[in-house]
Amino acid sequence: MTGLRKNGQSLIRRTAAEPPMQDSAAREPDSAQLVATPPGEAEDVVRWEKTCLCGQVMQGERAEGMLQLQCQECQRKHLILPISTYPEPQRVRKKRKRKEGPPVTAIATQQLGRLTKVLQIGLRTFLLALQRKLINLLKSIWQAFTPLRIAVLALTVVLLIGTSVIWRQQSRESAVRTLREAVALADEAFAAEQWGTAATEYHRAAEAIVYLNRTDPLALEVLQKHRELDAFDQICQLSLAEILKEAGRPGQSITDWERFFRLQVADKWLFSEGWLTPVDFAGQPGLRQVIPLEEGTIVIEWPASELSDATELSGHLLLAGQYAQIERSDLPGIDWIVRMKSPFLCCYEQTARRLGFELESPWMPEESLLQLLQRQRQLCLERGDKI
């Protein structure tokens, strides 16, 4: 179908292959005809359909060229596009970008900031409420303090302070009386070698000295005698040779030795006289004593950190200390190592006689035990050794 114009009028000339234009009702194919159309023909024929502004529906087949038609009702002109020679466009599915949220650190920082603000608000509210409570409490207390009540309170405080001062003064006077009585009785018993009475009285005197916090020579002497008597009362009942014989007994398990050491040896006291040399135990000063026995050569290690200067203490000494550890030695020429703790110097000949030591004998040409004890007593009392 082609469009022509003559004398200002539009004429429509139909082609031989194109059927005559029919009205809209006649041109609409029924469902049966649409269904019966072969698939191949339906794909080859390209139809068009257009609705005019007046409501007239026009339809037909597209041609290879441009068509220009005129509505039969309103004579409005219409332009029909030709058959498209381009391939059908394919629908491109856009990939939806995944929405990335903020990083975990940013979320944690944001949450922490919110929590901090909440805590600040809560703390501020709490402090304001506490401030109001304190102000109200102070106001109520101030209103409750009448002049009479203030006078009664002041009198009560003065009485309490006076009572405390009097009680402390009486306690100190009682401690001084106890110290004098206990020292007098203890010195008599110590000189008479009545060890039970001397230990009891020196214990009372030591408690009074600790309460009075005294560090004078008399107090140091009492504390030294009390320490020597107390150490002798807790002396180990087994000799060093018996202990090492039990430690080296064949067939003994480690559990049996640990039980034996814990029950009969650990924290018990040992009194030892001999020649000691200063050594260094892992950066700490100490004294070493070598004793040859039938069970082997023994080295006793005494920590000198609780004593006076180790260089002055080296040589002939009489020491007391508690058993801390006994073990075999890997050093050549040494079989056992005995480690002690809480050592102190013995100063009084009564303790040496009680232990059965000889104070003076012909085999001590250089220095007798009595001279040794006097030297150690002077060292303890002058230096204020940790008694």
Residue 29 has pLDDT above 60, yes or no: no
Task: Work out the pLDDT band at 181, boundaries 50, 70, 90.
Answer: very high
The stretch 139-145 carries a mean pLDDT of 82
Compute the distance between CA of residue 14 and CA of residue 124 in angstroms, rounded to an integer.
94
Which residue, 22, 54, 80, sits at the end of a domain? 80
State the pLDDT at residue 308.
Answer: 56
Assess whether 304 and 355 both reside in one domain: yes
Q: What percent of the chain has pLDDT over 90?
A: 29
Can you give the pLDDT at residue 140?
Answer: 85
Residues 199 and 254 in one domain: no
Q: pTM of the full predicted structure?
A: 0.56
Closest of 379, 272, 364, 274 to residue 316, by C-alpha: 274
Structural domain count of the chain: 3
> In this structure, is residue 130 part of a structural domain?
no
pLDDT at 44: 65
Same domain, 208 and 167: yes
Among 177, 196, 214, residue at a domain's last position: 214
List beta partners, residue 59: 49
pLDDT for position 313: 65
Mean pLDDT of 200-205: 93
In a shared domain, residues 303 and 348: yes
Pick the last residue of a domain from 55, 80, 105: 80
Same domain, 261 and 346: yes
pLDDT digits (tens, 9 = 90+) for 60-113: 888 888 888 888 888 888 888 888 787 777 777 766 666 665 677 878 888 888
Regarding whether 295 and 171 lie in a shared domain, the answer is no
Q: What is the spatial distance between Cα 295 and Cα 242, in angstroms, rounded to a whole number? A: 9
pLDDT tens per residue across span 287-337: 888 988 887 889 999 888 767 544 456 678 888 999 999 998 888 888 899
Q: Give the domain range for residue 315.
A: 240-383
Query: Do 252 and 293 sit in the same domain of this protein?
Result: yes
pLDDT at 164 (0 to 100): 93
- The reply to whether 115 falls in a domain is no
Residues 250, 373, single domain; the answer is: yes
Assess contact for 302 and 286: CB atoms under 8 A: yes
Residues with Cβ within 8 Å of residue 29, at least 6 apart in sequence:
none
Quickly count: other Cβ atoms within 10 Å of residue 348's Cβ: 18
Q: Are residues 275 and 329 in the same domain?
A: yes
| 27: in domain | yes
pLDDT at position 12 over 70: no
Instruction: Answer yes or no: is 123 within a domain.
Output: no
Same domain? For 264 and 374 the reply is yes
My answer on whether 209 and 302 are in the same domain is no
